[in-house]
Amino acid sequence: MVLKTKQSQNDSIAPAYRRGSKGTNCLGFSVQGPAEGDYVFFNSVLPVFCIHNKPRYMTVSKLILPAFLLVSLAGFNACTSNEVGDSKDVAQDKIYQQYSVGYTEGDEKVNVYAQFRFAGRNGTTLVLNKPSQLSFDGKPIGVDSSKASGAYYQLYEPVSGFYGKHHFVFTDINSRKFDNDFTFDNFKLVNIPAAAVSKKQALDLGFETAALQADDYIEVSTNGSDSSFTVRHDAKDGANKLSIPAKELMRQKGKELRLEAILYRKVPLQQNTAEGGTLDIRYTLRPVTIRLAE
Query: Which of 49-58, 113-122, 186-195 bottoms out in mean pLDDT, i.e. has the lowest?
Result: 49-58
Element (H, E) at 279: strand 277-284
The CA distance from 163 to 183, in Å, is 7
Q: What is the pLDDT of residues 267-283, one digit of tens each?
A: 999 999 999 999 999 99
Q: What is the pLDDT of residues 83-109, one digit of tens each?
A: 999 999 999 999 999 999 999 999 999
**Confidence class for position 75, pLDDT limits 50, 70, 90:** very low
Q: List b or e across 96-125, with b for residues whose CB sees 16 or more CB atoms inside 10 angstroms.
A: bbbbebebeeeeeebebbbbbbbeeeebbb
Q: Please give the span between the terminal C-alpha atoms of the chain, in angstroms, as a whole number.
A: 50
Phi/psi of residue 20, nearest 5 degrees: -70, 175
Q: Look at residue 89 and give its three-state secondary structure.
A: helix
Our measurement of the distance from residue 278's CA atom to the centroid of its chain's CA atoms, rounded to an integer in Å, reads 14
Our measurement of the distance from residue 77's CA atom to the centroid of its chain's CA atoms, rounded to an integer in Å, reads 18
**Confidence class for position 226, pLDDT limits 50, 70, 90:** confident
The pTM of this model reads 0.72
The CA distance from 19 to 55, in Å, is 6
**At residue 237, does pLDDT exceed 60?**
yes
Asked if 153 and 143 touch (Cβ cutoff 8 Å), the reply is: yes
Q: List b or e across 61-85, with b for residues whose CB sees 16 or more CB atoms inside 10 angstroms.
A: eebeeeeeeeeeeeeeeeebbeeeb
**At residue 16, does pLDDT exceed 90?**
no
**Confidence class for position 3, pLDDT limits 50, 70, 90:** very low
DSSP state of 240: S
Q: Look at residue 250 and give its three-state secondary structure.
A: helix
The CA distance from 257 to 197, in Å, is 10
Q: What pLDDT sits at residue 78?
A: 53
Let me know how long the chain is: 294
* Mean pLDDT rounded to a whole number for the chain: 80
Cβ atoms within 10 Å, residue 288: 16
Q: Which amino acid is at 122?
A: N
**At residue 23, does pLDDT exceed 60?**
no
Q: What is the pLDDT of residues 168-206, one digit of tens each?
A: 999 999 999 999 999 999 999 998 999 999 999 999 999
